[in-house]
Structure 1
């Protein structure tokens, strides 16, 4: 499909005169358009769930989450990947964001990079993409050659493939096992897909990666238990999490967190079961680090 036929490139009848609106009218108009994003994403619930299930299995078996995209889409992929490290305590190499043009393209456009499908294959080869991994190809227009090339190579090596676009019947969707297509409609500013399309993509990526992390046992009830307490704010958050889900005082939480070497999940198991660190570590290892699975064995309310 030619660029001028894409939904993301159409003019929005509701914003034709946004340049002459008052500032308040402008803000209200943008908000009204943004209200269309969540319903558009909601139409893709089943496919997003499929992506989570496939990605969770791959990740559990040692695979990685690989994001590929160009421009705004690429930056959103990089953002989702890097934020998983402090949020869920994973190693940086388990979630990787690749953007057409390399790291410098995060800040400045690299001319022509997104138009080269071979560039994505080369980037994926550099990180030794394997059949264990899952590749998320992201493109609002659904037609970026860089993403298509990456998805084709991923399928060739046996990696799982997911396409995230904001148009129907996307080209990248035809090159992936799962095609997620949240149609958010014409942008407030014609073609500015960093707006509604970008927000929809971020929502989808957040859901997929969060779902995968939950399936790894990195969330207990609804709190992050593998958060890395690397600064004062995160240490306080860790204490609050332990205190809240176990019912012990903040002082006791502080003590057990220290005994657990700042491992929140381990501290919760220790506090709930009254086990020492070594015993709790053994149980967690036997249950792949899943706190809920450990506590079920003790008939402890989770």
Structure 2
């Protein structure tokens, strides 16, 4: 396969560029990423439909990856409970080398073809679940091994890669291939490829959670009220839905712990629910 993520940068003499030139050229490269993601929308839709169906029937979503790709999966998974009020184990991010690798690279962790399945088995993974491998190159052994083992156990698989025709995509039932091309710094897939993966992860988890009823209108009615900013946001959401004054809305929100619960309590008298 041709790994366009490893091709020489379109730019030479980076160390001779002015700061303005560096920023401008990085920005110009970044502008190409959304177009690459858009070309993959049919694949993203197919994967999102699968995940939604599985999760409606009690399944979970697992991300597996190494390095930057693994970290992005962990970030997306960790943001689902506070944003959508779902249990912490609905979306699980697993990185090669374990949680230590989130902050510090673990040497050769990505080269172990057996470890991903061991990591997945720790969560009692089963055929109700979905495993999505994240690998910019599409060649990461940790991810390939994990997807292959999941397939052998009858578990649905997907992937997010940034090269076409990769071994990771070949293992995935629902591949997403966002071809981002050469990086500004040759081979530094934390840049355009990482941005593309983050965009796809945003689209995947957000669209799934909306379809699962975790958003009302355009509001995060199930978000966790974990800081003053979110409490204030939730209070204004309750005010908008009920017409209550701020003090009363805040009191109702505090008593019931979420926007949905607070509004439902108020609307109960009207025979309605949020």
Q: TM-score, normalised on structure 1?
A: 0.86
Q: 1:101 aligns with which of 93, 97, 100?
A: 97
Check the 8 A contact 1:51/1:162 in 2, yes or no.
Answer: yes
Q: 2:8 aligns with which of 3, 8, 11?
A: 11
Cα distance in 1 between the residues matched to 2:105 and 2:250? 46
Q: Which residue is equivalent to 2:258?
A: 263
Summarize the alignment of residues 1-302 of structure 1 with structure 2, pairs less than 5 Å apart.
Answer: 1=1, 5-13=2-10, 15-259=11-255, 261-272=256-267, 274-275=269-270, 291=274
Cα distance in 2 between the residues matched to 1:249 and 1:271? 13
Cα distance in 1 between the residues matched to 2:239 and 2:165? 49
- How many residue pairs are counted as aligned between the two chains? 274
Check the 8 A contact 1:225/1:264 in 2, yes or no.
Answer: yes
Listed as ranges, the gaps of 5+ residues in structure 1 are 284-290, 292-302
Shift of 1:256: 3.0
**SS of aligned partner of 1:93:** coil
Listed as ranges, the gaps of 5+ residues in structure 2 are none
CA offsets 1:78-129 (integer angstroms, 9 cap, x no match): 0101111111111112111111111111111111111111111111111111
Segment of structure 1 superposing worse, 183-192 or 107-116? 107-116
CA offsets 1:170-212 (integer angstroms, 9 cap, x no match): 2111101111011111000000000000000001011101111
Q: TM-score, normalised on structure 2?
A: 0.95
Shift of 1:24: 0.7
**Backbone CA RMSD of aligned residues:** 1.6
Shift of 1:251: 3.0
Check the 8 A contact 1:129/1:157 in 2, yes or no.
Answer: no
Check the 8 A contact 1:48/1:180 in 2, yes or no.
Answer: yes
Shift of 1:243: 2.1
